[in-house]
Structures are given as structure tokens and as C-alpha cells.
Amino acid sequence: MGKIQVTRCDIEGLCVIEPTVFNDERGYFVETYNQKDFQEAGLDLEFVQDNQSMSVRGVLRGLHYQKQYPQGKLVRVLRGHVFDVAVDLRADSKTFGKWFGVELSAENKKMFYIPKGFAHGFLVLSEEAEFAYKCTDFYHPGDEGGIAWDDPQIGICWPLQEGVELILSDKDKKWGGLSDTFRF
């Protein structure tokens, strides 16, 4: 029914996915995942876990990854607006340490696929945001790694809002830089 438009990013493996949205006077309908459509687009993925979070304006979650059990993630926003980022941690990649960011919102309904081998994070730009993502592997406590959100070696251009204080978890305040991080 659906069909998707897949835009490949400059960093190999990253994709922005736009589903077909059916609007009428009642509202809208969108197919957020259809295995056949994804396979036809060259994304042959198997998801094993769905997660959802709610965060308030200024929350920055990340940059996270799992070391021994890396996850591919298909992320989207159900309510609100975020700036979503992936950083290439694949040791043999010509884009190692490079980042890509995309705005995801309930309005634009874009999704972002981040394959294994990347760190991931997002910044909430709206009053609140509900964020949902499908994972290709299960979460394994104790296997998580991370990179400082503001590592100058990576140089992410976060769209920080004037007058909005960043809210980070204690864990996210302690991550080291790219030179100290795990490589896939």
C-alpha cells in the first residue's frame, strides 16, 4: 500500500526515509514500516525491539552505541521536533568520525535509518518530543558506549536554541571524545 522514498546520505549506509502520507478530512494515515517496501528499496532489515521515549525541550540524548551487540536503528518522531545525528564509527570507513544530521518531526514524518557501526543522538527542539525507534538487536545492559556530544574533533553543528539550557544525563556528561572511543 505504502511505498517509501529513500534518500541515501553522503555517509554510506545512512538513509532518510519518507513514507507516503494519505491525508483527508479525517486526518492522515501512514505506513511507517513495510518489510516488502524496505526490501525493494535495498533495506533488508530484521527488527527485534521497538523503543519509545518522551523528552522535553533542550534534552540531548547521546551520542550512544553498543559495542559487542551493535544495533541498526530506524528512528522517527511521533510528537514534536528533534535534530537527529549519526556519527560513523566504522574503523575501515572513509567517513570515520563524520556526522550527518536531519530534522525529524511529527509534521514531516521523515524517518532516519542508522546502521550498525554508528553512534546516535538527538536534541529536542520542541516543548516535548515523543521519539520511537526500531532496533536490529536487543539492548544489552553494560554494553553501551558513547561519545561527548560536543567533541570538537567531530564538530556537530547542533541547532542550539538561544535561552534554552541543555539537559544531559549524568552518563552523557562523562563520555570522552572520538579519539577515546570504540571503533567497529
CATH number for the domain harbouring residue 118: 2.60.120.10
- State the cell numbers at 161: 536554541
Contact indicator for 153, 79 with CB cutoff of 8 Å? no
C-beta atoms surrounding 44 within 10 Å: 9
Give the pLDDT of residue 182: 85
Number of H helices, E strands in the chain: 2, 13
Q: How many structural domains comprise the chain?
A: 1
Which residue type does 27 have? G
Spot the catalytic one: 81, 113, 120, 133: 133
Dist CA 33 CA 25 (whole Å): 24
| Containing structural domain, residue 108 | 47-180
Indicate whether 2 belongs to any domain.
no
Spot the catalytic one: 64, 65, 113, 120: 64
Q: Is the pLDDT of residue 2 over 70?
A: no
Indicate whether 113 belongs to any domain.
yes
pTM of the complete model: 0.95
Indicate whether 116 belongs to any domain.
yes
Indicate whether 6 belongs to any domain.
no
Active-site residue flag, 64: yes
Give the pLDDT of residue 155: 98
Q: Is the pLDDT of residue 1 over 60?
A: no
Dist CA 137 CA 37 (whole Å): 21
Give the pLDDT of residue 154: 98
